[in-house]
Amino acid sequence: MGSELLKGFRMLDLADEKGALCGKIFADMGVEVIKVEPPAGCSTRAIPPFLDDIPGPDRSFYAIAYHAGKQSVTLSLDSIEGLQLFCELAATADFVVESFPLGYMDRLGLGYGKLRELNPRLIYTSITPFGDTGPGKNYKAADIITWAAGGMMYLMGEEGKPPLEMSLPQAGLHAGAEAAVASLIAHYPREIDGVGQHVVIDMQACVVSTLMNEQAMPLLHGDYLRRSGIFTGAIGGRRKTVFRCKDGYISGLLAGGAYLPSTNATIDWMKEEGAAPAWLTQQGGLKSLTPSAFMNAAEADLRELEMAEEALERFLMTKTKKEIWQNVLQRRILAAPVATVADIADDPQLAARHYFVEITAPHLKRKFTMPGAFAKLSETPVGPAGAPPQIGQHNREVYCGLLGLTPERLVRLSAVGAI
């Protein structure tokens, strides 16, 4: 275990749920990632749900998933000794990533301006909800806040009902991954000329960047998109994108343009199984759909499309997600099951690629199966590097091994509450 890709580099990871994924991606790539936690543990360790529904700092699935392969040291930034230790660690590090409120690290004397004096090579990445200069630079932001500020929330949900976030909040994951990319962009020239830099991540902007083609719509087409449940309101039509089936849901679309061959293949399938109404299979049955028109259906044709969608749903209700998926793949229909985690765990494609990996966590006497390599690299495979650490599990290794403190010193630092 441990990728060769970025072996030999070290990151100090002080990020909470705004950026835990950054250090995880780095650990997957072979970087030695040291989580620097307060003595009570990082706040991500309190995120439910928990293993066996028993809360505890080692049992949060969020922490297990996003801290796997990292090391952990404890360090109190409230103590002079702790600040001193952090400076010693930072002098040995290649990367620091943090997501504290703006100015917090500066007030402690641990901002980029100070640490670059100790270590000019350092790349210091700050994840902020709203950037570091605007009127909201000091705003507090739980995940749902940047999800809302970045425009994705407005587009999720039914018109007239509250906009939504997902039940596994996503904004901090986008920010964490962006922090990983940006830190590496800074890394490349640093390895050539030896000079580090400060990197700022704007979480709100990270959410905006997920809006596909919608962000420029108001400026060029004069209006903005409303949320519309399971219907796509984009591109001048209102077409259903989620259909019920026997054991769940299927995502698909009856449309023209690039979707026309798929729409025709769907209707052929219904016809083969005697599930297509006569009008649908006649020549020009869905006359509103053409190779050039994605879904600019005339008023009069919309009812016809709705009837086709109703017929399709009746047909799909007789079949399971698995049956439909097999047909979708064979017939080259543009559709996919609305997969649950159980469906994903059971996916033969992921199995064929040996995607999921098992990690042993000795302190819990458990094995965890988790997502493996985010990409397959031929020369330097990447992937989860090991178990998630207990709070301060690597204190001795890091403070004695790396910084050269004596075991007695370690005990004394612990006694004064520094670690």
Partner 1 sequence: MRRYAFEGIHVLDFTWYGVGPVTTKYLADNGADLIRIESSARLDGLRLAPPWKDAKPGVNNSQFFASYNTSKKGITLDMSRPKAREIFLKLLPWADIVAESFTPKTLRQWELDYEHLREFKPDLIMLSTCMQGQTGPHRDYPGFGNLMAALAGFYHIAGYSDSELCPPYGAYTDFIAPRFSACALIAALDYRRRTGKGQYIDMAQYEAALHNLAPALVDYFASGKILGPSGNRAARYAPHGAYRCADEDGHERWLAVAVATNHEWQEMLKVLGNPPVDSCFSTMLGRLDHREALDSFVGQLLGERRAEELTTALQAVGVSAYPVQNCMDLHRDENLQAFGYWHWLDHSVMGPSPYEGLQHRLSRTPGELRSPAPSLGQHNDEVLNGLLGMSAAEIEQLKQEKVVF
Tokens (6 digits) for 115: 């640490």
- On whether the CB atoms of residues 175 and 18 are closer than 8 A, the answer is yes
Binding residue (CB under 8 A) for partner 1 from 6, 105, 260, 270: 6
Q: Are 144 and 207 in contact (CB under 8 A)?
A: no
> Rounded to the nearest whole angstrom, what is the least distance from the CB of residue 215 to partner 1 in the complex?
6
Region from 32-40, 272-280, 373-381, 397-405 binding partner 1, contact rule CB under 8 A: 373-381
Evaluate the CA torsion angle 38, 39, 42, 48 in order and state its sign: negative
CB under 8 A: which stretch of 33-41, 271-279, 336-344, 390-398 binds partner 1? 336-344
- Residue 266 phi, psi dihedral angles, 5° rounding: -65, -45
CB of 412 to partner 1, least distance (A): 34
Instruction: Find the binder of partner 1 among 205, 307, 402, 403 (CB under 8 A).
Output: 205
Count interface residues toward partner 1 (CB under 8 A): 152
Ranges within 164-203 binding partner 1 (CB under 8 A): 164-170, 173-174, 177-182, 184-189, 191-193, 195-202
Our finding on whether 348 is near partner 1 (CB under 8 A) is: yes
- Spatial contact of 248 and 338, defined as CB atoms under 8 Å apart: yes
Residue from 108, 377, 402, 410 in contact with partner 1 (CB under 8 A): 377
Nearest-approach distance from CB 399 to partner 1, in angstroms: 29
What is the C-alpha separation between 191 and 185, in angstroms, rounded?
11
Please state the closest distance from residue 60 (CB atom) to partner 1, in A: 8
Per-residue binding string, partner 1, 23-52, x by CB under 8 A, is: -xx---x----------------xxxx-xx
**Least distance to partner 1, CB of residue 164, Å:** 6
Rounded distance between C-alpha atoms, residue 41 and residue 146, angstroms? 25
If one asks whether residue 95 binds partner 1 (CB under 8 A), the answer comes out as: no
Q: Which is nearer to partner 1, 84 or 213 (CB)?
A: 213
Nearby residues of 2 by Cβ (< 8 Å), 6 or more positions away: 30, 385, 386
Stretch that binds partner 1, among 150-158, 264-272, 280-288, 308-316 (CB under 8 A): 150-158
Tell how far CA 273 is from the center of its chain.
Answer: 40
What single letter denotes the amino acid at residue 44?
T
The only residue of 12, 90, 289, 382 in contact with partner 1, by rule CB under 8 A: 382
- On whether the CB atoms of residues 211 and 155 are closer than 8 A, the answer is yes
Of 102, 118, 302, 338, the residue at the interface with partner 1 (CB under 8 A) is 338
The single residue listed with the structure tokens 């200069």 is 133
Query: Do residues 68 and 24 touch, judged by C-beta distance below 8 A?
Result: yes
- Sign of the CA dihedral with 14 first, then 17, 21, and 27 last: positive
The site map against partner 1 for 104-133 (x = CB under 8 A) is --------x-----------------xx-x
Quote the tokens at residue 395.
Answer: 């204190």
Could you say whether residue 324 binds partner 1 (CB under 8 A)?
no
* Least distance CB 46 / partner 1 (angstroms): 7
- How many angstroms separate the most distant Cα atoms in the chain? 87
| Residues from 222 through 281 that contact partner 1 (CB under 8 A) | 222-227, 229-230, 234-235, 241-242, 249-252, 258
Whichever of 91 and 195 has its CB closer to partner 1, that residue is: 195
Instruction: Determine if 149 is a binding residue for partner 1 (CB under 8 A).
Output: yes
Other C-beta atoms lying within 10 Å of the C-beta of residue 78: 12
Taking the complex as a whole, the smallest distance from the CB of residue 32 to partner 1 amounts, in Å, to 15
208 forms part of the interface with partner 1 (CB under 8 A): yes
Q: Where are the beta strands (DSSP E) in 129-196?
A: none
- Two tokens, residue 254: 């009856």
- Please report whether residue 67 would count as binding partner 1 according to CB under 8 A: no
Give me the least distance between CB of 72 and partner 1, in Å please. Answer: 18
Sequence-ordered list of residues with C-beta below 8 angstroms from that of 298, at least 6 positions apart, any chain: 288
CB of 366 to partner 1, least distance (A): 7
Sole residue written with tokens 């005697």:
274
User: Rounded to 5 degrees, what are φ and ψ at 60?
Assistant: -75, 125
